[in-house]
Amino acid sequence: MPRPHLHAARVHAPAMITNSGDIHGSGNGREIVKLSAVAYSTSPSMEAAAGMNASSDGGRRPLRVFFLPFFARGHLLPLTDLACRMAAARPAKVEATMVVTPANGTLIATTVTRAMDEGHSVRLLRYPFPDVGLESGVECLGAAAQHDAWRVYRAVDLSQPIHKKLLLEHRPDAVVADVPFWWVTDIAAEIGVPRLTFHPVGIFAQLALNNLYAIRSDIIRDGVAAPSVVVPGMPGKEIAIPPSELPEFLLQDAVLSMEWDNIKAAQLAGFGVIVNTFADLEKPYCDEYRRVDARRAYFVGPVSLPIDSAVHRGGDGNVDCLEWLSTKPSRSVVYACFGSWACFSARQIRELALGLEASNKPFLWVVRSEDSDGLWVPEGWEQRVADRGMLVRGWAPQLAVLAHPSVGAFLTHCGWNSVLEAASAGLPVLTWPLVFEQFINERLVTEVAAFGSRLWDGGKRNVRVDDADTVPAEAIGQAVAGFMDGGERWDKMRSRAKELAGKARAAVSENGSSWRDLHRLIDDLTEARASRVPSYEDS
């Protein structure tokens, strides 16, 4: 495939995000970039790892790989898991460095410290979060209030000069950069090292978005009145999606639609792509992806497996819920969580509360801190459900929850991490997508991999939360009760989920498909370093 022209890196207008999750330009704001003289620092304990100058491989120092995550937990956590897995795969031969802002570094500090305690070379390298008017310590989407989310996207654009200064100064052997940081491909080329794109979204959704973007003009012409859009070029069964469930950048001009070509060009011009998935979950889509969308593709997930000490992954959360789960019968609890950035109306949250009550099933429900002020709680609700329901406000240890034997099903927004973690845990899911590619992920879960079912088909769904119909409590209660009560269809989904869990474990085990791709990635990067012209860094 010919490689598209890659535009020179530049600072764009800041971006703002709407409730639907799409990005729209606003203002300039370049003047607020502040490059601190102490921009780059590591903690004293982690600096010790930097002293490794040689390995048993001919006396050469370890392969130094930098990882640059986007400012969201859903990107930060799997990329940190990947860094730790690479360091663990080749002890003393791979040095992984998470390049993060201070508050985001705090969220992964426990994971990094644990990896170091096990003797793996994993470090933190901190750089300042751009000054975009957020409160001190607010540096990711999950921490920002909904009305301030656009500021996080502004920080993405304003990170370009910081990333360039940092990479030119430290000159790693390779850079794994998150999708939004497309300009890293040019910077890596300037210093003569490979850049890989990290995708926290699965292959099925990526292919669908790519193919839908190719017919974007037709989608815009037909508008939202069209009953559905058939995704072209997908292997396997036909996938059709109503326009109201498509990401808005496919329906109107937005920064993402204007940046799409830059993102794709940077991906194709780079060394390769790393995806948090496993081949058995997304066949034959993985084969198609290797053919059309990457020079090299590495499917290395689930990077969260094996689940070990996952309680504090992503920051301190409510661990009392694990003790509460232990008081419930096996497979009796429905776990309801909609990610760290989902936005429900107060009315919808109230209906969800009443629906979980009406299901008469044990439930563990996680709500965002921003939604936990209690104003939406129906009078007497918490008292009525106290014996069989638990409400977690803020952050919950999701991996540990999903692995708990008392959890029998997952009510989810279909964010990719949640989909992958449910499959890895062998849990059938009830789907309630909200924004961006989540409606596409839902098709994989319900129509292709077949380990889940839609919560509701009775009204209008929309990526704009304010334009979606409110799902009534009665429908929620009936769906949850019916799902948990079982039946032939439910048994098939549970059986399929257990099958996927076994395949996920096999994928990351020795000689599994993801294990092989991870080791192939390290071998390819080692070979790329060996082929470079020696520099003072290699002496």
Mark whether 57 is an active-site residue: no
Give the separation between CA 115 and CA 97, rounded to whole angstroms.
Answer: 12
> Which of 186, 224, 220 has the alpha carbon at shortest distance from 8?
186
Placement of tokens 């058995």 in the chain: 280
Q: Is 171 exposed, middle or buried (0-12, 13-18, 19+ CB in 10 A)?
A: middle
> How many CB atoms are closer than 10 A to CB 218?
12
Residue 421 φ/ψ, nearest 5 degrees: -70, -35
Dihedral sign, Cα of residue 153, residue 158, residue 159, residue 164: positive
Residues 6+ apart with CB under 8 A from 48: none
Q: Which strands make up the sheet holding 389-393, listed edge to edge?
A: 389-393, 363-367, 333-337, 407-412, 429-431, 452-454
Indicate which residue of 12, 24, 75, 413 is catalytic: 75
> Which of 408, 403, 320, 395 has the alpha carbon at shortest distance from 363?
408
Which residues partner with 96 through β-bridges?
A: 65, 122
- Ramachandran region, residue 304 (left: φ > 0; alpha: ψ -120 to 50; beta: rest): alpha
> Which of 470, 491, 489 has the alpha carbon at shortest distance from 355?
470
Q: Is 242 exposed, middle or buried (0-12, 13-18, 19+ CB in 10 A)?
A: middle
Residue environment code for 343-352, b if the CB has 16+ CB neighbours within 10 A, otherwise e = bbeeebbbbb
Q: Does 78 sit behind a cis peptide bond, omega within 30 degrees of 0 on the bond before it? A: no
Identity at 216, one-letter amino acid code = R
Residue environment code for 273-303, b if the CB has 16+ CB neighbours within 10 A, otherwise e = bbbbbbbbbbeebbebbbeebbebbbbbbbb
Distances (CA, A) of 65 to 82, 92, 126, 266: 11, 13, 15, 19
Mark whether 312 is an active-site residue: no
Indicate which residue of 178, 186, 293, 371 is catalytic: 178
Give the separation between CA 152 and CA 75, rounded to whole angstroms.
Answer: 14
What residues act catalytically? Answer: 75, 178
